[in-house]
């Protein structure tokens, strides 16, 4: 038995970041991970491998659609799926080994195995019980089941199986037009699959700014993705390695079927807390299966904290990371803090979609007086040169004070551009502050400045 100041359970972005910060702050720290490699869902079967496939297939798209126009002639590259998979596996390895290196550097013990908590202050892994003054649960999330749909990771896959299909399917049905469905749907569309997305609501990416939703759907349709909107999936039947998806249209209750080689279930995730023994401990849970925490990420049981996908809030790696750093500070006697009002969300399709803060719909509902400054990438020289002029930047600012309340970008590098606005919001900036900041020319960032100018006297290039 060994004694620690902190044992973190789970080594995803929430857990490993928490462990590193704990160690940096002088706490004797261990992290329990049952997977063969560190990094959790994000590094092993989520964010990182999907970005490798998105990057590779975007390059293919560029070669097929834009190279000739730039004078780069010759045969388009053909797809070697096994090599693309090997590239993806290499990227995963580089990242997971990186975390292992950081653990060693920070003298964090990796306890290999699956943890349970027999009582506060104790973590059991295999036959060993380890003592810890504090326990942080960072066990993440898993695919939420959908009635009538059985995931076998071969014909009916979750995001995990979708990253490692045996071959590129001819046809693919995606259930759910959320982040996973659209990112993975884009990958296979670019590889030549016929992709149909079935979505329960009448809009894609629920919760996102309405104007972005519309523009995003139009651009995805232009790329060849097909949508069946307002349709509830009733079930999927498989036979001889093919799938038939049954769905009902909400508007008239009519029943339909769709055949495909592969079905991707992407209708959401749920907290993963199985096997921890939280029931017996009396840890308070929400009706949605999330661990309930207070403002300092403490659960209802003293000495046990929880962060990331296992608690409330958006299921995003960077939200978990921020909570991981903050709870480490709390455990070290400092003031940990997360500003939940400024957490960006990014969809890594092409073009990318990024947002932070309030949407126009939320501002209207709250009755907040606001103004919207919008600028199209059509007016951005760099975007035009790079065949990336689809999309826009929209900044929402308070009508009277000009304080930035939210921003929504669809366009090139949106996921990077959004951070300028995040920083501005952290500093309580006005749109005018961005508008008066010199932006290098020619950059995509100029579109952010122009949107800020559009909140005032108007943009220059439109």
Of residues 232, 285, 301, 378, which one binds ligand NAI by CB under 6 A? 232
State how far the Cα of 392 lies from the Cα of 374, in Å rounded to an integer.
7
Of residues 162, 212, 316, 356, which one binds ligand NAI by CB under 6 A? 316
Beta-sheet pairing, 242-249 with 392-398 = unpaired
State how far the Cα of 231 lies from the Cα of 257, in Å rounded to an integer.
11
206 in contact with ligand NAI (CB under 6 A): yes
State how far the Cα of 237 lies from the Cα of 386, in Å rounded to an integer.
44
267 in contact with ligand NAI (CB under 6 A): yes
What are the C-alpha distances in Å from 213 to residues 205, 264, 285, 391?
7, 21, 33, 11
Residue with smaller CB distance to ligand NAI, 309 or 446: 309
Active site residue 337: no
Stretch that binds ligand NAI, among 56-64, 176-184, 185-193, 365-373 (CB under 6 A): 176-184
| Residue tagged 């309030």 (tokens) | 358
Closest by Cα among 350, 462, 238, 319 to 14: 319
227 in contact with ligand NAI (CB under 6 A): no
Stretch that binds ligand NAI, among 7-15, 178-186, 370-378, 416-424 (CB under 6 A): 178-186
Of residues 25, 63, 129, 201, which one binds ligand NAI by CB under 6 A? 201
181 in contact with ligand NAI (CB under 6 A): yes
411 in contact with ligand NAI (CB under 6 A): no
264 close to 96: Cβ distance less than 8 angstroms: no
Q: Residues 65, 256, 337, 441: which is the catalytic one?
A: 441
Of residues 49, 161, 176, 185, which one binds ligand NAI by CB under 6 A? 176
CB of 49 to ligand NAI, least distance (A): 11
Pick out residues in 321-360 that bind ligand NAI (CB under 6 A).
346-348
Of residues 43, 146, 208, 396, which one binds ligand NAI by CB under 6 A? 146
H or E element in which residue 451 lies: helix 446-454
What are the C-alpha distances in Å from 206 to residues 117, 180, 212, 342, 372?
36, 13, 11, 19, 21
269 in contact with ligand NAI (CB under 6 A): yes
409 in contact with ligand NAI (CB under 6 A): no
Closest by Cα among 318, 301, 47, 382 to 184: 47
CB of 29 to ligand NAI, least distance (A): 27
308 in contact with ligand NAI (CB under 6 A): no
Number of residues that bind ligand NAI (CB under 6 A): 25
CB of 300 to ligand NAI, least distance (A): 24
CB of 209 to ligand NAI, least distance (A): 15
Phi, psi torsion values for 426, nearest 5 degrees: -60, -35
Total Cβ atoms within 10 A of residue 168: 18
422 in contact with ligand NAI (CB under 6 A): no
Q: Which two tokens stand for residue 286?
A: 């929400």
What are the C-alpha distances in Å from 400 to residues 366, 396, 456?
16, 12, 11
State how far the Cα of 81 lies from the Cα of 83, in Å rounded to an integer.
5
Angle in degrees, 0-180, between the axes of helices 47-65 and 81-105, rounded to the nearest 10: 140
CB of 203 to ligand NAI, least distance (A): 8
Residue with smaller CB distance to ligand NAI, 18 or 174: 174
Of residues 96, 130, 189, 199, which one binds ligand NAI by CB under 6 A? 199
SS3 of 237, please?
strand
Of residues 200, 249, 313, 378, which one binds ligand NAI by CB under 6 A? 200
Residue positions annotated with a catalytic role: 441
Which residues sit at the interface with ligand NAI, rule CB under 6 A?
146, 175-181, 183, 198-201, 206, 232-233, 266-269, 315-316, 346-348
């Amino acid at each position: 038995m060994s004694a620690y100041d902190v044992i973190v359970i789970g080594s995803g972005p929430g857990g490993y970041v928490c462990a590193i910060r704990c160690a940096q702050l002088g706490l004797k720290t261990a992290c329990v991970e049952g997977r063969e490699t560190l990094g959790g869902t994000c590094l092993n079967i989520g964010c990182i491998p999907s970005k490798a496939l998105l990057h590779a297939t975007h390059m293919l798209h560029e070669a097929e659609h834009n190279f000739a126009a730039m004078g780069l002639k010759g045969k388009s590259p053909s797809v070697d799926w096994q090599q693309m998979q090997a590239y993806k596996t290499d990227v995963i390895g580089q990242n997971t080994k990186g975390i292992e290196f950081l653990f060693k550097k920070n003298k964090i013990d990796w306890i290999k195995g699956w943890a349970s908590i027999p009582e506060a202050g104790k973590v059991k892994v295999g036959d060993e019980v380890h003592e810890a003054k504090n326990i942080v649960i960072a066990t993440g999330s898993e695919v939420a089941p959908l009635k009538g749909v059985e995931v076998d990771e071969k014909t009916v896959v979750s995001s995990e199986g979708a990253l490692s299909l045996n071959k590129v399917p001819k046809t693919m049905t995606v259930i759910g037009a959320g982040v996973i469905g659209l990112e993975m749907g884009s990958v296979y569309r670019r590889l030549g699959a016929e992709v149909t997305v079935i979505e329960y609501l009448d809009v894609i990416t629920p919760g996102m700014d309405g104007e972005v939703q519309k523009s995003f759907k139009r651009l995805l349709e232009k790329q060849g993705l097909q949508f069946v909107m307002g349709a509830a999936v009733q079930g999927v039947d498989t036979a001889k390695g093919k799938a038939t998806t049954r769905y009902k249209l909400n508007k008239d209750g009519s029943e339909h079927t769709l055949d495909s080689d592969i079905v991707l279930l992407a209708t959401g995730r749920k907290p993963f807390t199985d096997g921890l023994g939280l029931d017996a401990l009396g840890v308070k849970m929400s009706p949605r299966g999330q661990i309930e925490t207070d403002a300092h990420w403490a659960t209802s049981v003293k000495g046990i904290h929880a962060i990331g996908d296992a608690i409330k809030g958006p299921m995003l790696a960077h939200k978990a990371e921020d909570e991981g750093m903050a709870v480490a500070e709390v455990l070290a006697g400092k003031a940990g803090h997360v500003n939940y009002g400024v957490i960006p969300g990014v969809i890594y399709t092409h073009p990318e979609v990024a947002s932070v803060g309030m949407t126009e719909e939320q501002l209207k509902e709250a009755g907040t007086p606001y103004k919207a400054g919008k600028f199209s990438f059509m007016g951005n020289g760099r975007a035009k040169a790079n065949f990336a002029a689809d999309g826009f930047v929209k900044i929402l600012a308070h009508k009277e004070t000009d304080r930035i309340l939210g921003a929504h970008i669809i366009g090139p590098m949106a996921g990077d551009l959004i951070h300028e606005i995040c920083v501005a919001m952290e500093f309580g900036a006005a749109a005018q502050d961005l508008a008066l900041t010199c932006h290098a020319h020619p950059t995509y960032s100029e579109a952010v400045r122009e949107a800020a100018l559009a909140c005032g006297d108007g943009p220059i290039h439109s």
